[in-house]
Structure 1
């Protein structure tokens, strides 16, 4: 299951998202989340929390959804590059892994408790949190990553969706969490059609009344379009592109609608590395 782009989208929801994803660490004071490119070598720091109006530490967040032997060194490089440009800042690196086996063995000191890096394994901290605080919408969105049994997840899907929709959240934050949860359900149940996934998430709500359905229907994409996996990936990509780069132009929508699953996967994987829409899917005349 692809995780990098929805995780960074999740982090943009603010301080509570940071607390959940880091296993309980809290931001002290106001912080601004952004994506940053270090000039000169174009190394992107996708997840970074910078203090606003106070001298708190800067947090560089690196999420690893798959095993990578160089994950620690990648994070250390980004910390060093940011520190070179901001030498009077305290920079703290946080590596977030999905599973225990994804944590690289080297450098060995990085896995020590006293190391100047924070190590968070979601499979270690979030299942208990989900059981302890099931009404927390920031935790509920991780259910598709934490519940292994498909049938159990199916029966609980509508409840997690309602947790996000009924929580007292800012509308923009609710939209972010809804996109993340919906994205992961489409990835988890990639063999189902879009209608079937939405029905799973809204068992007590007619699908015609959901915002997701109305949004797609308004664009004429329910009837006559390819159902299932391609449709879900294309819609997810468009939403992420809109949030990252602004409104998607018609020529880009046409290119996305005509893409294969493999091409959509490649664009989804690269969305946080591309400086703009053209860098990701090519120029309009391409």
Structure 2
């Protein structure tokens, strides 16, 4: 399920500067060096299938690859609470609808073919994305002779929380800065990053970009400082001043949030350990068991760990409501 602040991310990635920095900083592929970033164009993201079931929440950009041809970036901005095992299937459907529209509109390459598409998922959930990005890994193996008819499809996943601050710090990249803002644990740390942005974005033609970033940061602060009211602010300088004035007021709340994140990290570590123990006891875990362990409380995980050698089977041990 999408989070209520998805609109803020879509606002940021409606700026070509963010799309450029996403590709340059987080897509380590040679073709990125061959594109013309001055040609970036955002397209209408509404694609309708034959049964009139449409999609309108995703973003599609195109940019020239080489001299004449276009490459399309299908950017899926869905920030879910849990990773999606079947994301490759969803994206295959979305990209298929997109290609269908391009074919109907005659938007083909010079040799009459469908243009290349990069399906990209930007994920910022707390849980690591452990699922494969390859469609074939969620399909049952086909027998010999049938394999050739199975679709092959991969997508590029960017899991924001897998980038440590040591890797992001010092990079003059807007997407890296976005990740640092989300990972900031105190108002002081957030203000340092805001001041860095102020030093970067000084040109007059960057005014819309500064305004969109300011709106996103205000929304971030509102979520962090749930006990504080924030008046609308128009630029990053006002944000920096406000952070300096309210540091003491918000410090306790942010520390509590940081402690909560620490507890969640501890719970995830315990869940991962239990999964390894269950694997040794019962063999490869089915998806339902992995999900049940990942969603369990610390107390439930401890209870299962204590009973791991008593359960006759995995189903019995992890039966809902049982310890």
TM-score, normalised to structure 1, is 0.57
Query: 2:194, 2:10 → 1: CA distance?
Result: 20
What is the match of residue 6 of structure 2? 4
Instruction: Figure out how many residues of one structure are paired with residues of the other and give that number.
Output: 201
Query: 2:55, 2:61 → 1: CA distance?
Result: 17
Query: 1:21, 1:186 → 2: CA distance?
Result: 29
Query: 2:178, 2:211 → 1: CA distance?
Result: 12
The 1:187/1:21 distance shift into structure 2, 3 A limit, reads farther
Q: 1:189 and 2:191 equivalent? A: no
Secondary structure of 2:56's match?
A: strand
TM-score, normalised to structure 2, is 0.51
1:1-286 equivalent positions in 2, closer than 5 A: 2-20=4-22, 23-25=25-27, 26=32, 28-29=35-36, 30-39=39-48, 40-51=52-63, 54-66=68-80, 67-69=82-84, 70-87=86-103, 88-99=114-125, 101=127, 103=129, 105=131, 109=135, 116-125=154-163, 127-133=165-171, 136-147=173-184, 149=185, 153-167=186-200, 168-169=202-203, 170-194=206-230, 201-203=239-241
Query: 1:16, 1:35 → 2: CA distance?
Result: 18
Unaligned runs of 5+ in 2: 104-113, 139-151, 246-323
The 1:83/1:115 distance shift into structure 2, 3 A limit, reads closer
Cα offset, 1:192, TM superposition: 1.5
Paired residues of 2:26 and 2:158 also in contact (CA < 8 A)? no
Paired residues of 1:35 and 1:45 also in contact (CA < 8 A)? no
The 1:187/1:71 distance shift into structure 2, 3 A limit, reads farther
Secondary structure of 1:86's match?
A: helix
Deviations 1:146-170 (A, max 9, x none): 23x3xxx211222222223332341
Query: 1:54, 1:185 → 2: CA distance?
Result: 44
- Between structure 1 and structure 2, the one with the greater Rg is 2
The 1:17/1:104 distance shift into structure 2, 3 A limit, reads same
The 1:195/1:125 distance shift into structure 2, 3 A limit, reads same
Secondary structure of 1:194's match?
A: coil
Cα offset, 1:72, TM superposition: 3.0
Query: 1:117, 1:94 → 2: CA distance?
Result: 6
Query: 2:47, 2:153 → 1: CA distance?
Result: 25
Cα offset, 1:191, TM superposition: 2.0
